[in-house]
Chain A
Amino acid sequence: MKSILDQNFYELLEVQPDAPTDEIERAYQIAHSTYDTGSLALYSVFEEGDAVVLRERLDTAYRVLSDSASRREYDAAIAAECAEVDLEANGNNGGSVGPLEIELELPLEIEFEAEAEPQIIASSSVELGEFDDFEDDPEDTVYDGDRLRRARLRRELELEHIASITKITPTYLSFLEEDRFDDLPAPVYVRGFVTAYARCVGLDPALVARSYMERFESTAPPKRSRKKNLFARS
């Protein structure tokens, strides 16, 4: 049995690794209400500190798994990790789902907004229906940071507002807008960030992610330095 910090995103959301998108959606809805502040089911078991960590992990898990591209990337990362563990530990850990040894390259000094009200960021949610009217950009539009910012300003949205919806820190959001690829985390997370950002500002997430990631990956250093792992086990 693994502690919350060792569980991979599928284990966190309590779904099978091959779960379809709608099941992940449903699992997140349940997890979201279960671990929400003031949830009755948490009463007397989880301490608030543990619950905050858990909520952040669940949100990250959902952000990555709800987008098919970032999910594929994550799956590949898990598979690679499993193979590595198998080689190292002589099959001792050889389960179907590997432990989360994927480096979460979130620098320690940048923290999630703990007070921000977590919101469901799926395009299917009713609350965000207003964000779903996508701009009619041509297919081959290049979505760089500048374009993202313009879309945001057109909607008169503050970065903090997007941060509170997506639960991505404003610092990362501004890195996105400034194309500061070196300061951004691994591609798998950036894809999740871009997708969530695009949804908020009314752009087509798939188009934006494809275009943004193309530029991100072509300019990012091939072997990114491994930063301190926020969720490292002691």
Chain B
Amino acid sequence: MKTGSKKKGARTGTERAAPRLIALGGGKGGIGKTFLAANLSVALSRLGLEVVAVDADLEGSNLHTCLGVEPPPMSLADFVADREVDVGKLAAATSIPNLRLIAATHANLWSPQPSDEQRVALVGHLRKLPADIVLIDLGAGTHPAVMDYYLSADEGVVVFAPEPTSVENGYSFMRAAFYRGMHRWMSDEPLRDLIAQAMDQHNERGIRTPLDLLRAARALDPAGGRRLEKLVHRLRPRIILNEARSATDIKMGFAIKSVCLKYFGIEADYLGYVNHDDVVRKSVLARKPLVLSHPKSDAAIYVGRIARKLAAGSFRSKAVRPKARSNAPAPTHRKL
């Protein structure tokens, strides 16, 4: 494949800008994260972008199934087991042009998750992949590994479904990202201590909300508190509302955006919604991405809309970048 020629020589390193890392999470399982990751990857690749889809869910891997590809012989599990140190070599070609997959199959059942050092190395490798977009499908929950990938990414997408269980887990996910991110990015020790204390939800200081934390930080150290407030802006979740069945459901995206601002003090973007559609189940049963099996369905059209919004950032940076590759395939639908 093209990958082979690209890898030759140091030339590519100078010509290519680093890919955008987009992490897609949402706390709760079964709300369509992997479905969206698979279909957005395909839709983005069809816009002419080089995409690497990464299955970071070592304990519940099925991105390959949603993409309709055979489990590749090598996966992230080989990286975790130190059998393969170059993550780039794990990116397997798929039948879909411009799209490669780093799967998470055959994980070690005794200890599936990578160590702290491996996680850092993994993100470093992903940043060096010759691609425009690296889309990371996160597992459910707020495991430190999940949050690390989310916080390392350039953009974080949080998927919600209009049901209390998803809303609760989605906010838990954002809360975890907030405190972990602040702890990770803040360099002042006293404030790091404060943040660590606040992560205990029954903390003695009575810090209940992110805003409480910022207030306590300002009281402790006004200058540090201001720095902390600036760091908050690095979190800018992009919300997708999946399985929308009514106008009320669709409007919930705006409501979540407002809650992000009023509760977390963070700006969020409402990227879009995907409606509940029986063809989604059909496509999963057929093990074929919806955008390929039912391209005219409403759900596929909505996925496409979200993909174009996500792609906008890449096209902007592509325009200023010197010509990336002469043999790039002609983009098909650059409707922006």
Contacts and interface: CB of A to CB of B under 8 A. Distances in A.
Interface string B14-40: 000000000000000000000000000
B4 interface: no
Interface stretch (B54-62, B255-263, B277-285): B255-263
B171 interface: yes
A93 B232 CA distance: 19
A40 B256 CA distance: 9
A83 interface: no
Nearest to B256: A41
B258 A34 contact: yes
A79 B211 CA distance: 26
Contacts of B265: 1
B146 to A, nearest CB: 19
Interface in B163-181: 163-164, 167-168, 171-172
Q: Is the interface of B mostly helix, strand, loop or mixed?
A: helix
B261 A41 contact: no
Interface in A25-70: 30-31, 33-34, 39-47, 54
B171 A44 contact: yes
A3 interface: yes
Contacts of A46: 259, 262-263
A14 B168 contact: no
A151 interface: no
A211 to B, nearest CB: 37
A46 B263 CA distance: 7
Nearest to B252: A41
A43 B171 CA distance: 9
A211 B73 CA distance: 82
A44 to B, nearest CB: 4
A34 B211 contact: no
Contacts of A1: 211, 214, 229, 232, 265
A3 B251 CA distance: 24
Interface residues of B, number: 25
B254 interface: yes
A30 B251 contact: yes
A213 interface: no
A14 B258 contact: yes
A156 to B, nearest CB: 35
A186 to B, nearest CB: 26
B251 A40 contact: no
A34 B171 contact: no
Contacts of A3: 211, 215
A33 B171 CA distance: 19
Contacts of B215: 3
Contacts of B164: 40, 43-44
Interface in A119-153: none
A47 B201 CA distance: 14
B162 interface: yes
A141 to B, nearest CB: 41
Contacts of A54: 262
Given A1-B229, A14-B261, A34 B168 contact: no
B262 A30 contact: no
A221 B214 CA distance: 41
A94 to B, nearest CB: 15
A45 B262 CA distance: 10
Interface in B203-261: 208, 211, 214-215, 229, 232, 248, 251-252, 254-256, 258-259, 261
Interface of A: 1, 3-4, 14, 30-31, 33-34, 39-47, 54
Interface of B: 162-164, 167-168, 171-172, 208, 211, 214-215, 229, 232, 248, 251-252, 254-256, 258-259, 261-263, 265
Given A43-B171, A46-B263, 17 more contacts: A1-B232, A3-B211, A4-B262, A14-B261, A30-B254, A33-B248, A33-B251, A33-B255, A34-B259, A39-B255, A40-B163, A40-B167, A40-B255, A41-B167, A41-B255, A43-B164, A43-B167
Give the 6 A-B CB pairs with smallest separation, nearest first: A41-B255, A34-B255, A1-B265, A44-B168, A43-B167, A45-B263
